[in-house]
Structure 1
Amino acid sequence: MSLFWSLWIMFLIVLNLGITLFLFVWAPRAKIPVQEDGTTGHVWAHGVLREGLQNLPRWWIFMSATMFVIGFIYLALFPGFGRVKGLLGWTSHGELSANVAANNAKLNEMMKRFSLYPIEQLAHDPAAQQLGRRLFLDNCAACHGREAKGNQRLGAPDLTDNDWLYGGDGKAIFTSIHDGRAGVMPPWASLGEENVKNLAQFVLSLSGSPHNEQQAAAAKPLFATCAACHGPEGKGNQALGAPNLTDKIWLHGGTVEDIETTIRGGRQGQMPAWSPRLTDDQIRVLASYVYSLSHPDHVD
Structure 2
Amino acid sequence: MSAGWSLWVMFLVVLNMGITFFLYLWGPRAKIPTLPDGTSGHVWAHGVLREGVRKLPLWWVLFSGAMFVIGFTYLALFPGFGSFKGLLGWTSHGELAHNVAVNQATLAPLMERFKLYPVEQLSSDPAALQMGKVLFEDNCAACHQRSAKGNVALGAPDLSDGDWLYGGSGSDITTSIHDGRSGVMPPWASLGADNVKNLAQYVLSLSGAPHDAAKAAAGQPLFATCAACHGAEGKGNPALGAPNLTDKVWLHGSSVADIEKSIGEGRQGHMPAWSPRLSDEQIRVVAAYVYHLSHPADESRQ
TM range, normalised to the smaller chain? Answer: over 0.9
Per-residue CA distance 1:259-299 (angstroms, 9 max, x = gap):
11111111111111111212222212211111111111124
1:63-212 aligned within 5 A? 63-212=63-212
The answer to whether residue 255 in structure 2 is matched with residue 269 in structure 1 is no
Secondary structure at the aligned position of 1:23 is classed as helix
Name the stretch that deviates more: 274-283 or 166-175.
274-283
Name the stretch that deviates more: 147-156 or 96-105.
96-105
Query: Normalising by the residue count of structure 2, what TM-score does the alignment of the two structures yield?
Result: 0.92
Question: Aligned pair count?
Answer: 300
Per-residue CA distance 1:108-156 (angstroms, 9 max, x = gap):
2222221122111111211111111111111111000001000000000
Query: Normalising by the residue count of structure 1, what TM-score does the alignment of the two structures yield?
Result: 0.92
Instruction: State the one-letter code of the partner of 1:293.
Output: L
Per-residue CA distance 1:12-38 (angstroms, 9 max, x = gap):
333332322221122222112223443
How many angstroms apart in 2 are the aligned matches of 1:9 and 1:210? 70
Secondary structure at the aligned position of 1:269 is classed as strand
How many angstroms apart in 2 are the aligned matches of 1:274 and 1:49? 71
How many angstroms apart in 2 are the aligned matches of 1:211 and 1:277? 45
Secondary structure at the aligned position of 1:276 is classed as coil
Cα drift, residue 48 of structure 1: 4.9
**Unmatched tracts of structure 1, length 5 or more:** none
How many angstroms apart in 2 are the aligned matches of 1:209 and 1:43? 84
How many angstroms apart in 2 are the aligned matches of 1:27 and 1:50? 21
The share of aligned pairs that are identical, in percent, is 72
Instruction: State the one-letter code of the partner of 1:207.
Output: S
Secondary structure at the aligned position of 1:204 is classed as helix
**Unmatched tracts of structure 2, length 5 or more:** none
Instruction: State the one-letter code of the partner of 1:184.
Output: V
Per-residue CA distance 1:195-238 (angstroms, 9 max, x = gap):
11111111111111111111111111111111111111111111
Name the structure 2 match of 1:219.
219
How many angstroms apart in 2 are the aligned matches of 1:160 and 1:139? 17
Instruction: State the one-letter code of the partner of 1:155.
Output: G
Name the structure 2 match of 1:278.
278
Name the stretch that deviates more: 4-13 or 191-200.
4-13
Cα 1:197/1:83, change in 2 over 3 Å: closer
How many angstroms apart in 2 are the aligned matches of 1:245 and 1:180? 23
Name the structure 1 match of 2:39.
39
Secondary structure at the aligned position of 1:142 is classed as helix
Cα drift, residue 182 of structure 1: 1.0
Cα drift, residue 85 of structure 1: 4.0
The answer to whether residue 80 in structure 2 is matched with residue 62 in structure 1 is no
How many angstroms apart in 2 are the aligned matches of 1:86 and 1:213? 79
Name the stretch that deviates more: 127-136 or 41-50.
41-50
Instruction: State the one-letter code of the partner of 1:204.
Output: L
